[in-house]
Amino acid sequence: MIEIDKVLKRLGVQANNSGVSTGLKCIEGSGDILESFSPVDGRKIAGVSSADGDDYELVIKKAQDAFGKWKLIPSPARGEIVRQMGEQFRLYKQDLGTLVSYEMGKSLQEGLGEVQEMIDICDFAVGLSRQLYGLTMHSERVNHRMYEQWHPLGVVGIISAFNFPVAVWSWNAMLALVCGNVCVWKPSEKTPLAALACQNIIRKVLEQSEVPEGVSSVMIGGKDLGELLAGDTRIALVSATGSTRMGKSVAETVGRRLGRSLLELGGNNAVIVTPSADLKIAIPGIVFGAVGTAGQRCTSTRRVIIHTDIFEEVKGKLIGAYRQLRIGNPLDENVHVGPLIDKAAVKSYEDATKRIQEAGGTLLTEYAVLSGPGFESGCYVVPCIAVVENHFPIVQQETFAPILYLIPYTDLEEAIALQNAVPQGLSSAIFTLNVRESEAFLSQVGSDCGIANVNIGTSGAEIGGAFGGEKETGGGRESGSDSWKAYMRRQTSTINYGESLPLAQGIKFEIE
Ligand code: NAD
C-alpha cells in the first residue's frame, strides 16, 4: 500500500503549512487555519494558514513588480523555464498524482493522468513560446505596412475547482507564463495541499532561473479571496473554473469594471446512442464517463439519450456493467469508483435521488451511502441509473455525483433537441456507425456544446484542443489550439514609410 506520509514529505507538505507563496518565498498566512481532510479515509492530512486581505495585497504587489521584469524576457526564454517545470512534473508525477488522488478522491490512474496533462501542457507551451504569431495585412494606403502583434496582459488571476486540483492551474499558468504574464493562483479550499505541492515542485526552477519573486504565486483561502481577484482592477484577466453559480458572480464583478474573464463552468453532458451504435465501445464509454472521478468531472456523462428500438438492450447492458463496479479506496488500482469530495456532496447525491423519484423518475439500480470498514469517511456512494424525462428540474441541473439519467428518443432530430435542451453546453457525444447521423450531430444544427465527439465518451479531453463550453458553461476556451489568445492583448499597427499622409477610406484633409 502507498505510504502517504512519505509522499507528503517528498512533496514538501508538512503538518502545518504556510498558505501564501510568491514562488520564491513561503509566507505564513494571517487568515484562519484551513484543514485538509482526505475523503478516502477521513484523515486530517495537514493544516494550512490561509491568506487574509493584507497577504492578498502583498501577493498582488509582488506580482505587479514581477510583471515589469518578466514581460521583458523573450518568449522562447520564458518557454525554456516552462520546459524545466515540465521536467520537474515528470520527476514528481507519481507523488503528485498520489496526493491528488488522496486529497481529492479520484482514482490513482486519474491522478496520474492529471499530472500527465500538466506535463503535456508544459510541452505545448514550450512550442507555443516560438509561435505567438500575428497576421500581416495589405494596407489600402500606398507605402504603408499593417500588421498585428500580441502583447502580455499583466497579472492573471487563476481560480480553480476541487475536481481538477492541479491540471486546470497548469492549463492556465503555463500558457499565461509563456505569453509574458505573471500568475496568482487561488486553488480550491478543498484541495490546498496539491496546490502547495505544485508550488514546491516548481520552486527549484524559479530559483535556478533567477525568475523575479511573484511570477507564479499561490494563496490559499476561500471564496472571499476569489472575490478579491474578481473585483481588483490590477488583475488583467480572471480565469475562473468552477460552478455556474461562482461563474455568474465572477462575470458580474469583472464585467462591472470592464475587465476580462475566462470562464470554465458546469456541464450537463449527454451521449446519444443510435440504433447502429457499436455497443462494445458505447457501454464502456458511457460507464467511464458517468462513474469516472465518481461523477465529479465537468465533462461527466449525466444523460444518455437512447433510441427506443435499443432502449431495453442498452438499459440492460448498463445495469449489468454497474453491477460489476468496485467501489473503494481510489489508491487501490482494482477499484473503479472512489469517494465523493465531502459530506455536502453526499447530501446532494441523496437529495437528487429523492427529487428524481418525486418528479416521477424511476431508479433502476441500488443507490446508497456506504458505511462500515473501508468507508469510514462517509463519502462513498453507489453509482446509480434512473429513467427520467429531460425537462425534470433535477435533470436540468448539474449534480456532481455518479447519477446517470436514461432518456428515450424516436428520431435523431428529437435526440439532438433533447441533448441541447439544458442550460449548460460543455460536452456531448454520439455513438453511431451511420455517417449521416454523425455529420448531422456535428453540423450547425447539431450539438450546441463546446465539445462534440463521435464514438468517444464525453469526458477525457486532450490538451491539444481548445477546451470549454457554451451557454451556462461560460464560453471560455483553455488549453490547446489558439486558446493562448485569451492571455494576450492584440495590437494592430500601421506604419507609414512614404513621404505623404494619405488617409484611410480616401478621406481628404488638406492644410497649408
Ligand atoms: P465552486 O464554484 O464551488 O468553487 C470553485 C472555485 O471558485 C473555488 O476556488 C472557490 O473558492 C471559488 N469561488 C467560489 N465562489 C466564488 C465567488 N463568488 N467568487 C470568486 N471565487 C469563488 O466549484 P467546485 O465545487 O470546486 O467545482 C465543481 C464545479 O466546477 C462543477 O460545476 C464543475 O462542472 C466545474 N468545473 C468546470 C470545469 C470546466 O472546465 N468547464 C472544470 C472543472 C470543474
CA of 169 to the centre of ligand 1 (A): 12
Average pLDDT over residues 127-131: 98
Please indicate, yes or no, if residue 510 is contained in any of the structural domains.
Answer: no
- Atom nearest to 400 CA in ligand 1: 31
236 and 368 assigned to the same domain: no
Q: Does the beta carbon of 169 lie inside 6 Å of ligand 1? A: no
Please indicate, yes or no, if residue 497 is contained in any of the structural domains.
Answer: no
CA of 345 to the centre of ligand 1 (A): 14
CA distances from 129 to 124, 126, 415 (A): 9, 5, 43
CA of 315 to the centre of ligand 1 (A): 32
Q: Which of 57, 466, 27 is nearest to 228 (CA)?
A: 57
pLDDT of residue 2 exceeding 80, the answer is no
Q: Which CATH number goes with the domain that contains 287? A: 3.40.309.10
Q: Range of 72's domain?
A: 4-265+474-491
166 residue type, one letter: V
248 and 291 assigned to the same domain: no
281 and 323 assigned to the same domain: yes
CA of 440 to the centre of ligand 1 (A): 33
State residue 509's pLDDT score: 94
Q: Does the beta carbon of 397 lie inside 6 Å of ligand 1? A: no
Query: Which 3-state string (H, E, C) describes 211-243?
Result: CCCCCEEEECCCHHHHHHHHHCCCEEEEEEECC
Q: Does the beta carbon of 241 lie inside 6 Å of ligand 1? A: yes
pLDDT of residue 1 exceeding 70, the answer is no
Tell me how many domains the chain contains: 2
433 and 304 assigned to the same domain: yes
200 and 290 assigned to the same domain: no
Buried b (16+ CB within 10 A) or exposed e, 54-72: ebbebbbebbeebbeebbe
435 and 320 assigned to the same domain: yes
Count of CB atoms situated within 10 Å of the CB of 257: 12
- Atom nearest to 230 CA in ligand 1: 20
pLDDT of residue 45 exceeding 80, the answer is yes
Per-residue pLDDT of 268-314, as tens digits, reads: 999 999 999 999 999 999 999 999 999 999 999 999 999 999 999 99
CA of 64 to the centre of ligand 1 (A): 25
CB of 27 closer than 8 Å to CB of 217? no
Cα separation of 163 and 37, whole Å? 15
CB of 343 closer than 8 Å to CB of 310? no
Average pLDDT over residues 175-195: 98
Testing ligand 1's pocket by substitution, the residue of 168, 246, 264 carrying the most ligand atoms inside 8 A of its CB is 246
Cα separation of 241 and 164, whole Å? 9
Look at ligand 1, atom 9, and give the residue with the nearest C-alpha.
188
Q: Does the beta carbon of 299 lie inside 6 Å of ligand 1? A: no
Report percent pLDDT > 70 for the chain.
Answer: 100
Report the chain's mean pLDDT, rounded to a whole number: 97
CB of 455 closer than 8 Å to CB of 103? no
Q: Locate cell 469517494: which residue?
A: 339
**What does DSSP say about strands 424-425 and 235-241: parallel, antiparallel, or unpaired?**
unpaired
- Atom nearest to 249 CA in ligand 1: 18
Look at ligand 1, atom 39, and give the residue with the nearest C-alpha.
264
Among residues 467, 483, 505, the one where a domain terminates is 467
Q: Does the beta carbon of 230 lie inside 6 Å of ligand 1? A: yes
- Atom nearest to 245 CA in ligand 1: 2
- Start-to-end Cα distance in the chain: 87
CA of 280 to the centre of ligand 1 (A): 35
Confidence of residue 512 (pLDDT cuts 50, 70, 90): confident
Please indicate, yes or no, if residue 499 is contained in any of the structural domains.
Answer: no
**444 class by beta-carbon count within 10 Å (0-12 exposed, 13-18 middle, 19+ buried):** exposed
72 and 147 assigned to the same domain: yes
HSE, side-chain direction, 13 A CA sphere, residue 477: 13
**What does DSSP say about strands 235-241 and 260-264: parallel, antiparallel, or unpaired?**
parallel
Q: Does the beta carbon of 223 lie inside 6 Å of ligand 1? A: yes
Average pLDDT over residues 400-422: 98
Please indicate, yes or no, if residue 498 is contained in any of the structural domains.
Answer: no
Please indicate, yes or no, if residue 13 is contained in any of the structural domains.
Answer: yes
Average pLDDT over residues 468-478: 98
Testing ligand 1's pocket by substitution, the residue of 223, 224, 343, 458 carrying the most ligand atoms inside 8 A of its CB is 223
Please indicate, yes or no, if residue 505 is contained in any of the structural domains.
Answer: no
Q: Which CATH number goes with the domain that contains 163? A: 3.40.605.10
CA distances from 265 to 56, 238, 246, 323 (A): 25, 13, 8, 31
CA of 239 to the centre of ligand 1 (A): 11
Q: Is residue 134 helix, strand or coil? A: coil
Per-residue pLDDT of 339-378, as tens digits, reads: 999 999 999 999 999 999 999 999 999 999 999 999 999 9
Read off the DSSP letter of residue 152. Answer: E
282 and 247 assigned to the same domain: no
Cα separation of 133 and 178, whole Å? 13
Cα separation of 328 and 60, whole Å? 42
State residue 180's pLDDT score: 98
Look at ligand 1, atom 43, and give the residue with the nearest C-alpha.
298
171 and 143 assigned to the same domain: yes
Region for residue 309 given its phi and psi (left: phi exceeds 0; alpha: psi -120 to 50; beta: otherwise): alpha
306 residue type, one letter: I
Q: Does the beta carbon of 473 lie inside 6 Å of ligand 1? A: yes
104 and 211 assigned to the same domain: yes
Active site residues: 264, 298
Q: Which of 149, 137, 143 is nearest to 496 (CA)?
A: 143
Per-residue pLDDT of 59-79, as tens digits, reads: 999 999 999 999 999 999 999
Q: Does the beta carbon of 449 lie inside 6 Å of ligand 1? A: no
Look at ligand 1, atom 35, and give the residue with the nearest C-alpha.
242
- Atom nearest to 253 CA in ligand 1: 19
Please indicate, yes or no, if residue 219 is contained in any of the structural domains.
Answer: yes
322 and 387 assigned to the same domain: yes
Strands (E), 209-326: 216-219, 235-241, 260-264, 269-273, 301-307
For residue 136, what are the β-bridge partners?
147
**What does DSSP say about strands 424-425 and 470-471: parallel, antiparallel, or unpaired?**
antiparallel
**What does DSSP say about strands 144-152 and 136-137: parallel, antiparallel, or unpaired?**
antiparallel
pLDDT of residue 218 exceeding 90, the answer is yes
CB of 266 closer than 8 Å to CB of 473? yes
Please indicate, yes or no, if residue 501 is contained in any of the structural domains.
Answer: no
Q: Does the beta carbon of 117 lie inside 6 Å of ligand 1? A: no
Per-residue pLDDT of 9-18, as tens digits, reads: 999 999 999 9
Q: Does the beta carbon of 459 lie inside 6 Å of ligand 1? A: no
Cα separation of 291 and 302, whole Å? 10
252 residue type, one letter: E
Report percent pLDDT > 90 for the chain.
Answer: 99
226 and 275 assigned to the same domain: no
Q: Does the beta carbon of 394 lie inside 6 Å of ligand 1? A: no
Read off the DSSP letter of residue 502. Answer: P
